[in-house]
């Protein structure tokens, strides 16, 4: 088997696969935490990484008929939720293209975010500015 490259999300809070700890989604991208999954509470989110889709199927959910694909962790292949491909009911179509993550299949990680290069440059620039002010005051 080839080496699986894992994508890392740079954000203060991410959801990761419970089994293999691969990053799955940014906590900021979660739209709703009150969804009902097949295994209990679930989250609706805008985008995912390290995931692959299974075969599409029509499924009758509490809110009507939907075409969904199972969402698998790309690294360990466990099912972590599903993607809404199509909602038959117009009032449910905001879910199309979005993902449901089963709360019992993911866990939340808080991670330190490195200072971005831009902030570093800004700090450097203000240091140099400070040095100039000092030298001109000395003249
Ligand atoms: Zn996994």
Please compute the mean of the pLDDT values over residues 67-91 and round it to a whole number.
97
What's domain 13-112's architecture? Beta Complex (2.170)
Chain CA centroid to CA 15, Å: 7
Please compute the mean of the pLDDT values over residues 43-59 and round it to a whole number.
96
Residue-wise pLDDT for 92-135, tens only, equals: 999 999 999 999 999 999 987 665 555 545 555 544 444 444 44
38 or 137, which is more confident? 38
pLDDT attached to residue 135: 47
Please compute the mean of the pLDDT values over residues 68-92 and round it to a whole number.
97
Residue-wise pLDDT for 82-94, tens only, equals: 999 999 999 999 9
Ligand 1 centroid, distance to 107 Cα (angstroms): 11
- Strand order across the beta sheet in which 51-61 lies: 30-37, 40-45, 99-102, 79-87, 64-73, 51-61
pLDDT attached to residue 133: 46
Residues measured by CB to lie within 5 Å of ligand 1, the ion = 17, 19-20, 22, 73, 75-76
Ligand 1 centroid, distance to 78 Cα (angstroms): 6
Ligand 1 centroid, distance to 133 Cα (angstroms): 54
Element spanning 138, H or E: helix 117-138
To the nearest 10°, report the CA torsion of 98, 82, 47, 39.
110
Contact at 8 Å (CB) between 86 and 58? no
- Strand order across the beta sheet in which 13-17 lies: 23-26, 13-17, 106-110
Residue with tokens 């419970």: 18
The pTM of this model reads 0.77
Ligand 1 centroid, distance to 79 Cα (angstroms): 9
């Amino acid at each position: 088997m080839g080496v699986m490259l894992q994508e890392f999300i740079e954000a203060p809070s991410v959801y990761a696969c419970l089994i293999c700890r691969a990053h799955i989604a940014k906590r900021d991208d979660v739209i709703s935490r009150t969804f009902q999954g097949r295994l209990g509470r679930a989250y609706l989110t805008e985008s995912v990484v390290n995931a692959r889709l299974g075969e599409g199927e029509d499924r009758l959910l509490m809110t009507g008929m939907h075409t969904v694909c199972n969402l698998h962790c790309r690294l360990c292949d466990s099912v972590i939720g599903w993607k809404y491909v199509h909602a038959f009911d117009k009032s449910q179509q905001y879910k199309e293209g979005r993902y449901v993550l089963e709360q019992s299949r993911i866990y939340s990680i808080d991670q330190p975010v490195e200072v971005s290069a831009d902030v570093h440059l800004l700090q450097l620039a203000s240091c140099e500015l400070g040095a100039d002010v000092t030298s001109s005051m000395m003249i």
